[in-house]
Amino acid sequence: MLNKYARAFFTRVLTPFAALLIRLGVSPDAVTLVGTGGVVAGALVFYPLGEFFWGTVVITLFVFSDLVDGNMARQLGRSSRWGAFLDSTLDRVADSAIFGGLALWYAGRGDSLLLCAMAIFCLASGQVVSYTKARGEAIGLPVNVNGLVERAERLVITLVACGLSGLHAFGVPGVEILLPIALWLVAVGSAVTLGQRVVTVRRESAEADAMAQGGTGA
């Protein structure tokens, strides 16, 4: 849901910026690489130190590259399999850095093995959720389901909670509880989404096999 409407809104907002980059001779692949590098740096430098507010500011600035590069490719008429592959692959790298940075915090100064485990679960389940759809499509199935928590929802819930939790360093009381709540929400939502996609792939594969057998029998 967020992925559908947020992308449409920010695509319109960022179109002039994408056009400017094109005029400056910047390639969509360069934007993808720089954006991912910024997210990784923001997550792995700031989050393990407990600097959630500034880490989230840096990450959020670079997250928008995910929309800018696609916008540039469309304006240039250069949408390609390579660009889609690079974008999707580096999305997984960025997501891993965000939850990996949180896991490092909770394994160290955050002093909570439970929340460290939750961050690792969010990291792993997010990767598997993406893999199930990609693998289902690779074997010729439509995988007509998005699920409860897609990548956009995972990022918004986590980054908003991280940013607000970081306000604790500025004297705002009680906000530090938001990040643990967000991790639990993302973990449960990812597990539900994984179940939804697995069930969908199972149903669609059974239907496809039945049609294939029927066609062979005819």
Question: What residues are annotated to the active site?
Answer: 91
What separation in angstroms does the CA of 104 have from each of 18, 36, 115, 197?
35, 19, 10, 30
- Angle, CA 178 vertex, CA 194 and CA 175 arms, to 5°: 170
Q: 161-191: b or e for each residue (b if 16 or more CB lie within 10 Å)?
A: bbbbbbbbeeeeeebbebbbebbebbbbbbb
Radius of gyration for the alpha carbons in the chain, expressed in angstroms and rounded = 19
Q: How far, in Å, CA of 98 to CA of 120, rounded?
A: 10
